[in-house]
Amino acid sequence: MKLSNLQRLLAGAGLLLAPLFAQHSLAAPVKGADVSWTSQIEDNGYKYYNRSGVQKDVFAIMKEQGMTAVRLRVWVNPADGWYNGTQDVVAKARRVKAAGLKLMVDFHYSDTWADPGKQTKPAAWRNYTFQQLMDAVWNSTRYTLQAIKDAGVTVDWVQVGNETNNGMLWDDGKASVNMRNYAWLTNTGYNAVKSIYSGAKVIVHLANCHDNANFRWIFDGLRNNGAQFDIIGASNYPTNAGGYTWQNANTACLNNLNDMVSRYGVPVMITEIGVPWDHSQAYTIVKDMVTKVGQVSGGKGAGIFYWEPQARPGWQGYTLGAMDNNGKATAVWDAFK
């Protein structure tokens, strides 16, 4: 489905669906996890074991540990044709609903990982004009969300882009090249979300929660170009923050979150956190950040999500999960109780 000229104009001007400083009701921070690898891990024959060593479904373990929400990433055309594609996401979304958990959908707008160092267009979109790129964002967002809705699942939050510290869909949507384009792509995604799930909260997500200057640059740029967003999301990997102790990284992150609330008037959320699975202070580090989210000014700390806690050490090179080598949940999970 193509955007009408009026929709495009209003999207670019930031006039659809919400005022600049929308009012948000306050609630206790949501606790959850991104478990997008779940289907792939299971298909490789691995099992999950809770804190007592009992084999259980990953969503059951999440509930046991006080989590109430799941985050799932979406790729446009994944190389293997399935994992993180729309149908894989729908299958996992059904399980999320069956477990009684809330759902966040994270659009990367890529065929693979999107992060601060790479925001590669899907291969099928590579030669699109900017107008065609906006149409593709609109269509892709609506297609996946409609498929989830048709499966009878409610989506509570949607990320329009993943770790977009310098925009998305490079180079057209690269913020340092053309901030207006990035804002228009953001609004196109925002409006696509609202057209399927009018009550879903739309998140713009950046990495490096300790980097206040980057956050101000992006969100000032988005606001100055009429972009809309309901929540500011952040990744915080405290032990990976160069030049910071984990304590200083968490403190800088909280200071940044408070600045975002003050400056833009919207709630904030840690949509990714992770620590080395065998770190001697892993529980303490995560618990400290869970506590800090609850301390965000005005009660606007909306939640915190651990990134792929169900992954065993070394799964696809990732060592920040919360399972040991036997697939048993580590103490990190207790930080969410």
Average pLDDT over residues 122-130: 99
Q: Is there a catalytic annotation at residue 163?
A: yes
23: pLDDT strictly greater than 50: no
| pLDDT given at position 274 | 99
**pLDDT score, position 26:** 62
* Position 269, amino acid: M
pLDDT for position 27 = 80
pLDDT digits (tens, 9 = 90+) for 292-305: 999 999 999 999 99
- Report which of residues 20 and 75 the model is more confident about: 75
Q: How far apart are CA 146 and CA 41, in angstroms?
A: 26
**Tell me: the pLDDT tens digits for 30-40?**
999 999 999 99
pLDDT at 2 over 90: no
* pLDDT-derived band at 6, boundaries 50, 70, 90: very low
pLDDT at 4 over 80: no
All residues at 6 or more sequence positions from 305 whose CB lies less than 8 Å from its CB, including other chains: 31, 32, 33, 34, 69, 71, 104, 269, 270, 271, 272, 273
Residue type, 21: F
Contacts of 267 (CB under 8 A, 6+ apart): 24, 230, 231, 232, 261, 300, 301, 302
Which CATH class, in words, describes the domain spanning 5-15+27-336? Answer: alpha beta
In tens, the pLDDT along 213-267 reads 999 999 999 999 999 999 999 999 999 999 999 999 999 999 999 999 999 999 9
Quick check: 7 pLDDT over 60?
Answer: no
> What was the pLDDT predicted at 226?
98
With contact defined as beta carbons under 8 Å apart, do 62 and 32 qualify?
A: yes
Q: Residue 135 above 80 pLDDT?
A: yes
Digit-coded pLDDT (tens) for 27-63 = 899 999 999 999 999 999 999 999 999 999 999 999 9
Is residue 314's pLDDT more than 60? yes
Of all residues in the chain, what percent carry a pLDDT higher than 90?
92
User: If you ran DSSP here, which 8-state letter would residue 111 be given?
Assistant: S
Residue 65 has pLDDT above 70, yes or no: yes
- Whether 272 sits among the annotated catalytic residues: the reply is yes
Arithmetic mean of pLDDT, 120-148: 99
**What average pLDDT does range 95-116 have in this prediction?**
99
- Which secondary structure element, helix H or strand E, spans residue 107, and what is its range? strand 102-107
Q: What is the pLDDT of residue 192?
A: 99
Give pLDDT tens digits for 322-334.
999 999 999 999 9
Could you give the CA distance from residue 271 to residue 302 in angstroms, rounded to a whole number? 10
